Amino acid sequence: MTIAMIRNDDSTILNNDVTPYSPLDLLPEEESPLPDPDEMLLLLNSAIIFERMQAARAFCELEDPRSIPRLIELLQDECPLVRVSAAYALGRNKSEQAIAPLISQLRQDWNGYVRKGIVWALGTCRAKVGLPPLISALKYDIMAVRLWAASALGQLGDTQAIAALTEALTEDITATVRGNCAWSLGKLITQMRCEDTFHTEIYHEAVDALINALIDDDLSVQTDARNALRKVGDPRGLKVLDRIEMDQGYCEF
């Protein structure tokens, strides 16, 4: 799965020029002690923006159900850095009660970094009601949000996303978005083949899109499509893949 930087036109939306982070940045450093949850719960209510932000970020590492009601409230904080931290924290501290507030904030938040965090959280929470807003984000939002929406739909695990991912793999102008669509299609098509709701037309259209992506202008998209086709194991896709790799002299060690 391909990861990309956020588009430059989002870089001006934070007044203090703090570089936003991705979910990978929120992993705890090796051997560093975890924050004290009781102390962080108190700081979630701090009047100081920086302390609220640090406390919300702490719950990206900590799992504590006591934090969830306040993290939901912080989705509407005045500071976008607090809101995005709360979104990532709710992706870590999964709760059914957070899904509706996350979706509501996704629809109204002006900050692209916050929407990106919410999209990631919805995918991680794997709530089926997150499917329509994630598909909408994949179709209409800025590049950074589309990028994470594409991978979040794979994490969500709902095969109804296959058609939207197939369309985006074919039509999105950004290579990294197309690559993430290929990655998610590999997961969801494999899943659909094991379900009773197998839809032949949608399946073949998705496989066709992956096959076409083998000659994408971007090499990383080609790689993502190749890996997805191997995962799916469709005989037609594997045959095309073998022929292309034989023509290119490709081999794996």
* Residue 192 contacts residue 203 (beta carbons within 8 Å): yes
Q: pTM for the full model?
A: 0.82
Task: Please report which residue ranges of the chain form alpha helices under DSSP H.
Answer: 37-43, 49-58, 68-74, 80-92, 96-108, 112-125, 131-140, 143-156, 162-171, 175-192, 200-213, 219-232, 235-247
238 vs 226: CA distance, rounded Å? 9
Which of these, 162, 92, 91, lies nearest to 121 by C-alpha position? Answer: 91
The domains found in the chain, sorted by start residue, are: 16-125 (1.25.10.10), 158-253 (1.25.10)
At 245 the pLDDT is 73
* Residue 60 contacts residue 153 (beta carbons within 8 Å): no
Q: HSE (CB half, 13 Å, CA atoms) of 101? A: 20
Q: Report the pLDDT averaged over residues 121-134.
A: 96
* Residues 106-119: tens digit of each pLDDT: 999 999 999 999 99
Q: HSE (CB half, 13 Å, CA atoms) of 185? A: 36
* Residue 101 contacts residue 34 (beta carbons within 8 Å): no
* Residues 221-243: tens digit of each pLDDT: 999 999 999 999 989 989 998 88
